[in-house]
């Protein structure tokens, strides 16, 4: 932390700040400047956020953090890229896993059809919501445990691994028994109780970025899981909230190279939620791979127009198959393969 003092601060105020830094357990290093006096506070990084409160002291102009607040998720902690294995897929490797499937599990027939489609087209993980977070209490809330059973059945039939969302801490164990990967949805990215629970369980976690989370907050959410001892975390950019209304969210692909620089964790892209419209999914899937994503998550449906949720952003089978064919040369251009 660097504490910047105001232009004409009396020395007594500087000393008050110094004393308070010491009181909080840090060592102050003062640089007496001509225009500004600046104080560095040195000590255990992990509690430093608290030093922000020094901004209320007389004479203090601003408090500027100079280090990133995450540890285990950062490249300074581990400089080489991590990989996360889920079934046959390995996120962070040369081969780019594709996760495909419906937004919600709707019936036995639909899950089986879509699992076969995903498998045949080259995906390696099946997605499907059994417990659904819905903006409206009147919308379909998911099939629950029966949905989980259908996913497991589809895994048995196809060999695909399965990923599904967990909504509350008390469901984590039950869902972890069936699923190969636990998804934390965007709306739960800062549900810290849930993050801690999936951290304890140890299963691979797919952590989606909150729609208004900064990249730093996203990594702090991952840090919650890592600090419980679970390093199998895959990050997922899925669009942020901006003023633009032509798309449901603004897919922040800048986040891919930024995350690649800051963290060793694998990063994937969800172009379905990130655009909210099926026609834009294919170009943004390609863009995701081009800028370095370690995987994709794509919603597919046999008849999107009657889907119980998110039909508008789901690909029909033929569109999905074509996308999978078209993705291959982009993966190759990126020095990887599907």
Report how far residue 335's alpha carbon sits from residue 241's, in angstroms, rounded to the nearest whole number: 32
| 272 part of the interface to a second copy, by CB under 8 A | no
Q: Which of 208, 264, 273, 286 binds a second copy (CB under 8 A)?
A: 286
Strand partners, 2: 40, 64
Which is nearer to a second copy, 67 or 174 (by Cβ)? 67
301-320 binders of a second copy (CB under 8 A): 304-312, 314
Of the pair 47, 159, the CB lying nearest a second copy is at: 47
Instruction: State how far the Cα of 283 lies from the Cα of 286, in Å rounded to an integer.
Output: 5
Pairing of strands 205-208, 233-237: parallel
Residue with Cβ nearer a second copy (124 or 191): 191
Q: Does 15 bind a second copy (CB under 8 A)?
A: no
Residues numbered 82-141 forming contacts with a second copy, rule: CB under 8 A: 133-140
290 binds a second copy, rule: CB under 8 A: yes
Distance from chain centroid for Cα 204: 13
Half-sphere exposure of 316 (CA within 13 A, CB side): 6
Q: Is 333 among the residues that bind a second copy (CB under 8 A)? A: yes
Tell me how far, at minimum, the Cβ of 253 lies from a second copy, in Å. Answer: 5
Stretch that binds a second copy, among 121-129, 150-158, 172-180, 276-284 (CB under 8 A): 276-284
For position 159 contacting a second copy by CB under 8 A, the verdict is: no
Smallest gap from residue 158 Cβ to a second copy (A): 25
Measured over the CA atoms of residue 334, residue 336, residue 337 and residue 338, the dihedral's sign is negative
Q: Which of 289, 298, 324, 338 binds a second copy (CB under 8 A)?
A: 289
Closest CA to 315 of 70, 76, 63, 103: 103
Question: Residue 187: how many CA atoms within 13 Å on its side-chain side?
Answer: 9
CB of 98 to a second copy, least distance (A): 16
Tell me if 227 contacts a second copy by CB under 8 A. yes
Write the DSSP string, 33-56: -SS-EEEEEES-GGGGGGGGGGGG
50 vs 159, beta carbon nearer a second copy:
50
Stretch that binds a second copy, among 86-94, 109-117, 147-155, 162-170 (CB under 8 A): 162-170
Give the residue, chosen from 200, 217, 302, 321, that forms a contact with a second copy under the rule CB under 8 A. Answer: 217
Angle, vertex CA 217, rays to CA 229 and CA 23, nearest 5: 85
| Sole binder of a second copy in the list 109, 170, 173, 177 (CB under 8 A) | 170
Return d(Cα 132, Cα 326) in angstroms, integer: 31
CA distance linking residue 324 with residue 322, whole number of Å: 5
Total residues in contact with a second copy, by rule CB under 8 A: 114
Q: Count of CB atoms within 10 A of residue 303's CB?
A: 11
Segment 174 to 193, residues that bind a second copy, using CB under 8 A: 187-188, 190-193
DSSP letter at 158?
Answer: H
- Residues 246 to 265 in contact with a second copy, rule: CB under 8 A: 246-247, 250-258, 261
CB of 255 to a second copy, least distance (A): 8
Q: Say whether residue 31 binds a second copy (CB under 8 A).
A: yes
Residue 258 CA to residue 211 CA, distance in Å, equals: 17
* Residue 63: strand pairing partners: 3
34 binds a second copy (CB under 8 A): yes
Tell me: does residue 268 bind a second copy (CB under 8 A): no
SS3 88: coil
């Amino acid at each position: 932390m660097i504490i910047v003092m105001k232009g004409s601060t009396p020395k007594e105020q500087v000393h008050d700040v110094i004393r308070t830094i010491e009181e909080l357990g840090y060592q102050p290093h003062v640089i007496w400047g001509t225009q500004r006096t600046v104080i560095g506070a040195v000590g255990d990084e992990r509690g430093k956020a608290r030093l922000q409160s020094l901004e209320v002291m007389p004479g203090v102009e601003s408090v500027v953090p100079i280090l990133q607040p995450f540890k285990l998720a950062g490249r300074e902690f581990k400089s080489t890229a991590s990989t996360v294995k889920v079934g046959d897929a390995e996120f962070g490797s040369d081969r780019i896993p594709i996760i495909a499937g419906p937004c919600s599990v709707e019936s036995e027939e639909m899950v089986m059809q879509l699992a076969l489609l995903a498998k045949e087209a080259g995906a390696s993980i099946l997605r499907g919501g059994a417990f659904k977070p819905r903006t409206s209490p009147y919308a379909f809330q998911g099939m629950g445990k029966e949905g989980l059973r259908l996913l497991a059945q589809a895994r048995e039939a196809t060999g695909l691994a399965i990923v599904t969302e967990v909504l509350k801490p008390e469901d984590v164990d039950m869902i972890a028994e069936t699923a190969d990967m636990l998804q934390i949805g965007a709306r739960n990215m800062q549900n810290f109780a849930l993050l801690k629970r999936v951290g304890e369980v140890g299963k691979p976690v797919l952590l989606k970025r909150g729609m208004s989370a900064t990249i730093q907050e996203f990594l702090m959410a991952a840090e919650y899981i890592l600090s419980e001892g679970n390093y199998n975390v895959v990050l997922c950019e899925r669009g942020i909230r901006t003023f633009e209304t032509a798309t449901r969210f603004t897919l922040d692909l800048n986040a891919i190279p930024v995350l690649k620089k800051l963290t060793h964790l694998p990063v994937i892209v969800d172009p379905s939620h990130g655009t909210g419209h099926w026609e834009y999914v294919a170009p943004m899937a390609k863009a995701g791979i081009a800028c370095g994503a370690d995987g994709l998550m794509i919603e597919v449906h046999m008849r999107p127009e009657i889907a119980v949720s998110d039909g508008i952003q789901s690909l029909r089978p033929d569109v999905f198959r074509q996308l999978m064919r078209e993705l291959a040369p982009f993966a190759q251009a990126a020095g990887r393969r599907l």
